[in-house]
Structure 1
Amino acid sequence: MSKTKQSYTDTPLQTNPNFLKFCYLLAVLLLFSCKEAPKGEKREVAEPKEVTEETVATTNNKVILFFGDSLTAGYGLDDTKDAYPGVIQTKIDSLGYPYEVVNAGLSGETTAGGLGRINWILAQDISVFVLELGANDGLRGTALSETKSNLQGIIDAVRKKDANIPIILTGMQLPPNMGKDYTTKFSQLFKDLAEKNDLVLVPFLLENVGGVAQLNQADGIHPTAAGHQILANNVWLYLKPILEQ
């Protein structure tokens, strides 16, 4: 099967009332988590780091590597196969595509942490790379230049391994309490990276899930199994054409 690189397409982000509710829930949770932290210590909204899936392929199928944080890892789900990468594996199996999903999500991961472990993850052969990182950086108020540099470093590492590996970048948005200038530039950096590196961009991973109470767990942030079904559809829209090439 030949691999043809898919070009970036600028798809406008959509803002709706449900997403705004999600933003305020996120802001409230962040506020309370920060109050419990010792003075001078920054706290993440994401849960403690935990590897929730195998990070090495177990068959001879081509590998789709999902590299991300708690959203990819499937934090809070009874079965991590219910996380959106696992749902995508079910779609792949139903179509008979010769691909295996590897979930390299790590709860609490930042872009700096991802950059630190990317070379180990890339020790295996990979056919498609899905990059879902940055939310924890934004909630900590990490300098945008640092987040962008770390993501670029991860992209460069993948391209160094094989320049023909298609890379899908998932966009993210932040709650308004982080400041209009910061949140606007944060969303834009994903578009800028996609355009610069000719990546496939999923404009907003949590589209139609963020702020919808019945699709999120009690924390109001991490999707339920039903929410992950929608996340899978959001990514599948951009992944399927790559697998069919």
Structure 2
Amino acid sequence: MLQLRFKGSQVLMLVFSAVFSLFSSCTGQGAADTSDEMKQNQNKSTKSPMETKKNSNKTILCFGTSLTAGYGLDVKEAFPALIQEKIDAAGLPYTVINAGLSGETSAAGNSRIDWLLKQPVDLLILELGANDGLRGLPILETKKNLQEITDKVRKKYPEAKIVLAGMQIPPSMGAKYADEFKSLFPDLARKNDMKLVPFLLQGVGGVPKLNQEDGIHPTAEGQKILAENVWSVLKPIL
């Protein structure tokens, strides 16, 4: 299993404290701004001059946190838009929708998914759980929410495929919690026959030059690596 590498316990604690503070502040406004932010993301993210053609395309819904939304960047620099560029270059009939929301927890996502499923979904990239882990929320609660999201998608669109983005956290909540958190993603993927991106932040997490000043959110260059991590799993499916 891929893991983050940190240099020194003091650095780790500073990073974790910054993360906790940042994501906590994001969450407070997340629920109230969901509708407006979603509309802005959908309008800005992945549309091109081939709009008429894309209207008949299959839909890939990227559903996740600020990592998906492209926090601190233009939405065109976030990995969903970069995935769209790869799809267009390959001449594949898919339109990518960025449904990322800063501060989103698995519980909030479980509530929001019903609204998103009003539009057709052919493939879901599920990137939730990071904020749960940073807050030390119960593993079983996170797993339950992700399972319910999966069940809702499969019930509404039985043929839809799902790609689950794996996540890991620093061991500040304890090694046992960190290990269990890391394991919940492959466990869910196996149980539900989903494809797994082992660790979304592989090659980016803990690398200062690939993260913004907060030490958490990827830069534009970091997002390019996230896109490659996802594309390596997504391309064979498409």
CA RMSD of aligned residues (A): 2.4
Shift of 1:14: 4.1
**Number of the residue aligned with 1:38:** none
**Number of the residue aligned with 2:90:** 95
Using the alignment, how far apart are the partners of 2:119 and 2:197 within structure 1?
A: 25
Q: Which has the higher helix share?
A: 2
Shift of 1:153: 0.4
Using the alignment, how far apart are the partners of 1:231 and 1:240 within structure 2?
A: 14
Using the alignment, how far apart are the partners of 2:26 and 2:199 within structure 1?
A: 18
1:129, 1:168 within 8 Å by CA — same for their partners in 2? yes
Using the alignment, how far apart are the partners of 2:194 and 2:164 within structure 1?
A: 7
Using the alignment, how far apart are the partners of 2:25 and 2:63 within structure 1?
A: 19
| Number of aligned residues | 222
Q: Give the one of 187, 201, 212 matched to 1:217.
A: 212
Q: Which sections of structure 2, spanning at least 5 residues, go unmatched?
A: none
Larger RCO (alpha carbons 8 Å, 6+ apart): 1
Task: Call closer, same or farther: CA 1:23–1:129 in 2, change over 3 Å.
Answer: farther
Q: Which sections of structure 1, spanning at least 5 residues, go unmatched?
A: 1-11, 35-42
Using the alignment, how far apart are the partners of 1:62 and 1:22 within structure 2?
A: 44
Residue 24 of structure 2 aligns to a residue in which SS?
A: coil
Task: Call closer, same or farther: CA 1:46–1:138 in 2, change over 3 Å.
Answer: farther
Using the alignment, how far apart are the partners of 2:10 and 2:148 within structure 1?
A: 33
2:5, 2:206 within 8 Å by CA — same for their partners in 1? no
Q: Give the one of 119, 125, 130 matched to 1:135.
A: 130
Asked whether 1:26 is paired with 2:15, we answer yes
Note the 1:202-241 alignment, pairs <5 A: 202-241=197-236
**Number of the residue aligned with 1:201:** 196
Asked whether 1:61 is paired with 2:57, we answer yes
**Number of the residue aligned with 1:44:** 24
**Number of the residue aligned with 2:151:** 156
Task: Call closer, same or farther: CA 1:87–1:152 in 2, change over 3 Å.
Answer: same
> Normalising by structure 2, what TM-score?
0.86
Using the alignment, how far apart are the partners of 1:107 and 1:82 within structure 2?
A: 15
Task: Call closer, same or farther: CA 1:236–1:121 in 2, change over 3 Å.
Answer: same
Using the alignment, how far apart are the partners of 2:11 and 2:167 within structure 1?
A: 13
Residue 142 of structure 1 aligns to a residue in which SS?
A: coil
Task: Call closer, same or farther: CA 1:201–1:45 in 2, change over 3 Å.
Answer: farther
Shift of 1:109: 0.4
Q: Give the one of 158, 165, 184 matched to 2:160.
A: 165
**Number of the residue aligned with 1:76:** 72
Shift of 1:45: 6.3
Shift of 1:26: 3.0
Q: Taking every aligned residue pair, what percent have the same amino acid on both sides? A: 54
Using the alignment, how far apart are the partners of 1:242 and 1:220 within structure 2?
A: 32
2:4, 2:168 within 8 Å by CA — same for their partners in 1? no
* 1:160-208 deviations in Å (ceiling 9; x for gaps): 0122211000011111111101010000011110111011010100000
Task: Call closer, same or farther: CA 1:104–1:22 in 2, change over 3 Å.
Answer: farther
* 1:48-86 deviations in Å (ceiling 9; x for gaps): 435251189972211100000100000000x11100001
Using the alignment, how far apart are the partners of 2:12 and 2:119 within structure 1?
A: 37
1:69 maps to a residue whose letter is T
2:41 maps to a residue whose letter is E
